[in-house]
Amino acid sequence: MGKPKIYITRKIPEHLLSPFNDRYEINMWKDEKTPIPEEILFERVKEADGLLCLLTEKIDRKFIEHASHLKIIANMAVGYDNIDVAAAKNKKIIVTNTPDVLTETTADLTFALLMATARRLIEATNTIYHDEWGDWSPFMLAGTDIHHKTIGIVGMGRIGEAVARRAKGFQMNVLYHNRTRNIHAERQLQATYVSFDKLLEESDFVVSLVPLTEETTNLFNQNAFQKMKESGIFINVSRGGVVDEDALTEALKQKTIRAAGLDVFKNEPINSAQPLTKLKNAVLLPHIGSASVTTRENMLTLCLENIDLVFQGKTAKTPVY
């Protein structure tokens, strides 16, 4: 029997592959920046025993039925809403994700985005680049305080807790909402469990860190934004699909909420045609939550380790089911 065939949907650094090269026949897409076209991926995955894919790939039922040799799909992300897990399970294909290794890096970015939005950092920088820095004045670019304010975290899981730890350093009051109570966060971080509505009503910062599921699709809709304080700031680092972007755009335009910081969007990548880009009170990032070199390398290594374990007949480190 030949070596198991692994397909990787983006060009990744050789030094990460070298520990595995002897045992596997590894092929990958030639480009680091551009996703593999769907029809080419379909062709390449036909004979593959293992797949390392990114969140840009839609691994649906049709794909899974077509890729009949697959034993493992290792997703380079903690979120796995791009994969039809039920269809994979049905075919006894293991699906793995990359929890923990990206938690602190994503929490850093979440807090950076919260601070940039509250203190209007992008707007401020742009006054220099666009020669608009007039004389200093009392309320020039005055923003919102962060310290001692209330942060409401929707999705108090791994990243939610790491954000709450950062918030404690700013003497913030921490509220959270999950489907089940997180006793660890309550004891260690003095986080208070509240209903979704109460969180919206009482938080100065509403932070979304929930996975995208049927239940959370458009969770942050017109109704939710109406419940937020007029001075409230909305931060989303989970998935664009949890937000009704039209309702958010309207809330920002009408100033029924003060500002929003978004790392994720319904249809990525967005460009300057996206109505949110026209708003000064929106800070937009191109899905860079886990983007530090070390963390991205750790995520890829974890994917490769999961694949390796499965082909050794062992349990993957981070299976999603």
Catalytic residue IDs: 239, 268, 287
Which partner from the list ligand NAP, ligand GLV, none does 308 bind, CB cut-off 5 to 8 Å by kind? none
289 lies in the binding site for ligand NAP (CB under 6 A): yes
Which of 172, 289, 300, 303 touches ligand GLV by CB under 6 A? 289
Q: Which of 102, 113, 164, 199 binds ligand GLV (CB under 6 A)?
A: 102
Contact between residue 237 and residue 109 where contact means Cβ atoms under 8 Å apart: yes
The closest alpha carbon to 177, from 226, 143, 144, 215, belongs to 215
Query: Rule CB under 6 A: is residue 189 a binding residue for ligand NAP?
Result: no
Burial pattern 159-175, b for ≥16 Cβ within 10 A else e, equals bbbbbbbbbbeeebbbb
For 293, other C-beta atoms within 10 Å of its C-beta total 7
Reduced to 3 states, what is the DSSP secondary structure of residue 192? strand
Total number of residues binding ligand GLV (CB under 6 A)? Answer: 7
Smallest gap, in angstroms, from Cβ of residue 35 to ligand GLV?
A: 15
Q: Taking the mean position of all CA atoms in its chain, how far away is CA 48?
A: 28
Contacts of 222 (CB under 8 A, 6+ apart): 244, 247, 250, 251
Q: Does the footprint of ligand GLV cover residue 290 (CB under 6 A)?
A: yes
Shortest Å, Cβ 239 to ligand GLV: 7
Q: Does 107 bind ligand GLV (CB under 6 A)?
A: no
Nearest to 148 by CA among 123, 126, 130, 174: 174
Say whether the peptide bond before residue 269 is cis (omega within 30 degrees of 0).
yes
Please say which residue, 194 or 291, places its beta carbon nearer to ligand GLV: 291
216 binds ligand GLV (CB under 6 A): no
DSSP H/E element including 74: strand 72-75
- Give the span between the Cα atoms of 211 and 242, in whole angstroms: 8
- Residue 292 contacts ligand NAP per CB under 6 A: no
76 is an interface residue for ligand NAP by CB under 6 A: no
Distance CA 13, CA 17 (A): 7
Q: Which stretch binds ligand GLV (CB under 6 A): 6-14, 60-68, 73-81, 243-251?
A: 73-81
Considering only residues 191-210, where is the footprint of ligand NAP by CB under 6 A? Answer: 209-210
Binding ligand GLV by CB under 6 A: which of 70, 78, 219, 228?
Answer: 78
Which of ligand NAP, ligand GLV, none does residue 315 bind (CB under 5 to 8 Å by kind)? none
How near is the Cβ of 292 to ligand GLV at its closest, in Å? 13
Q: E strands, 165-262, where?
A: 173-177, 192-193, 205-208, 233-236, 259-262
**Least CB distance to ligand NAP at residue 161 (A):** 8
Contact string (CB under 6 A) for ligand GLV, positions 248-287, x = contact: ----------------------------------------
Rounded CA separation 212/154 (Å): 12
Chain length of the chain:
321
Q: Indicate which single residue of 264, 270, 307, 316 sits in contact with ligand NAP (rule: CB under 6 A).
A: 264
HEC per residue, 22-63:
CCCEEEECCCCCCCCCHHHHHHHHCCCCEEEECCCCCECHHH
Nearer to ligand NAP, 6 or 113 (CB): 113
Which residues would be at the binding site for ligand GLV (CB under 6 A)?
A: 55, 77-79, 102, 289-290
Site of interaction with ligand NAP (CB under 6 A) = 78-79, 99, 102, 106, 154-160, 177-180, 209-213, 215-216, 237-239, 263-264, 287, 289-290
